[in-house]
Amino acid sequence: QKEVEQNSGPLSVPEGAIASLNCTYSDRGSQSFFWYRQYSGKSPELIMSIYSNGDKEDGRFTAQLNKASQYVSLLIRDSQPSDSATYLCAVAIDRGSTLGRLYFGRGTQLTVWP
């Protein structure tokens, strides 16, 4: 069973704060990790991808990967009300019959209040 777990929400932070979203995965063969943002009634949009241990920064977003501990996180600095959405963690194993398939967590709903 390939499980992806996200910290239960909803998460509520004030504008300007740091929002921290966490995700753990069960399959040690996981190779690619993604964070998607999904606004209500819309489809997911890619925020970040990360493949190797460490931090990856893109603007206000930082993804962190620790394969030994099997977790990946997303930090949103200077949170804005427009960041309010559901954040989906996704993991790809890219082996054999699972080639290309993403395993999604249930998502963490983030609310940034002004």
Partner 1 sequence: GAVVSQHPSWVICKSGTSVKIECRSLDFQATTMFWYRQFPKQSLMLMATSNEGSKATYEQGVEKDKFLINHASLTLSTLTVTSAHPEDSSFYICSARGWLLAGVSTDTQYFGPGTRLTVL
Smallest distance, partner 1 to C-beta of residue 70, A: 19
Instruction: Please say which residue, 71 or 104, places its beta carbon nearer to partner 1.
Output: 104
Smallest distance, partner 1 to C-beta of residue 17, A: 25
Residue matched to tokens 């929002």: 19
Instruction: Please say which residue, 17 or 102, places its beta carbon nearer to partner 1.
Output: 102
Smallest distance, partner 1 to C-beta of residue 16, A: 28
Note every long-range contact of 81-86, with CB atoms under 8 Å and residues 24 or more positions apart, other chains counting. Answer: 81/15, 81/112, 81/113, 81/114, 82/112, 83/19, 83/37, 83/110, 83/112, 84/110, 84/111, 84/112, 85/37, 85/38, 85/39, 85/40, 85/109, 85/110, 86/37, 86/38, 86/39, 86/40, 86/110
Structure tokens that stand for 45 in this block: 């949009």
Smallest distance, partner 1 to C-beta of residue 86, A: 9
Instruction: Please say which residue, 42 or 77, places its beta carbon nearer to partner 1.
Output: 42
Instruction: Please say which residue, 76 or 92, places its beta carbon nearer to partner 1.
Output: 92
Interface positions with partner 1 (CB under 8 A): 32, 34, 36, 41-46, 49, 88, 90, 92, 94, 97, 99-102, 104-107
